[in-house]
Amino acid sequence: MQLTVDGSIVFAATGGRPHAAERPLAVFLHGAGLDHTVWALQSRWLAFHGWNVLAVDLPGHGASAGPPLPTIEAMAGWVVALLNAVPAANAVLLGHSMGSLIALQAAATAPDRIAKLVLIGTAAAMPVHPDLLAAAKGNEPAAIDMVNLWGHGFRAGLGPSPAPGIWMVGIGRRILERAAPGVLFADLSACNAYAGGMAAAAATTAPTLVFCGEMDQMTPLKSGRALAAAIDRSTLEVAEGAGHMLLAERPDQLLAKLATHLDSSIL
């Protein structure tokens, strides 16, 4: 579906189900250089289990108009504007990587609008290696290579996927390749500059699921543990042997945790 947020067209996938007023809302926020398609399994599952779903393309990504937003704070403000455009009194925010920072900052900025959080592949700070930033600034293929190499766990690099016929590393590459020039650099720069994570965690009152990969090289497990400890009402779950791309690497484990954390009877 298409929405208008801050005067620009935004695309959001609904999981294949029309919205119904009586259902709670789940908003999915993707990572740097990616788009709504990374949430295909999770968004569709929730849509068919009693939820309104918006898996959004952030501004400048996928089918959404406008340039990418320059800071995590600006993206969090955009999420609040999205809730006003739907409209929705409150929502659950699910974010992966950069999307988890956006969700965390939005929850701290507008706590009355956020019912719960799910932070996946996350940390309070996400510094980016200078070589990756330089390659992304030049729109070099090496930037995609680095994201894929550092983003996937060992088993993903071998090829097997929990979903038969799926090549995790190849799909990740294709999504990054179709991003417009400059988008990956803008996103990585926003992550690199963000310094408000621990303050946002301390201000967050929403019940939060923190889902981390044991072997994550981009947001190491120790950083995810520290973030979870800083959030008053948090639950930490660790995917053994997994890397950063948990939506693809551990889809069944993640769905099981979502089913528990997002029980609509306790919203």
In whole angstroms, give the CA distance from residue 45 to residue 23: 14
Closest CA relative to residue 70, chosen from 188, 238, 213: 188
Q: Where are the domains of the chain?
A: 2-266
pLDDT surpassing 50 at residue 56: yes
Closest CA to 156 of 250, 38, 31, 249: 249
Instruction: Give the per-residue pLDDT at 163.
Output: 54
Please provide the average confidence, as pLDDT, over all residues in the chain. 92
Lowest mean pLDDT of 16-25, 32-41, 214-223, name the range: 16-25
- This prediction has a pTM of 0.94
Query: In the β-sheet with 234-239, what is the strand arrangement from edge to edge?
Result: 2-5, 8-13, 52-56, 25-29, 91-96, 114-120, 208-213, 234-239
Least-confidence region, from 37-46, 48-57, 77-86, 165-174: 165-174
| 149-182 pLDDT per residue, tens | 888 776 665 555 565 555 667 777 788 999 999 9
Over range 32-59, report the average pLDDT.
96
Identify the CATH assignment for 2-266 out of 3.90.1150.10, 3.40.50.150, 3.40.50.1820, 1.10.340.30: 3.40.50.1820
Q: What is the pLDDT of residues 85-128, one digit of tens each?
A: 998 888 999 999 999 999 999 999 999 999 999 999 999 999 99
Is 213 in a helix, a strand, or coil?
Answer: strand
Q: What is the pLDDT of residues 12-21, one digit of tens each?
A: 999 999 988 8
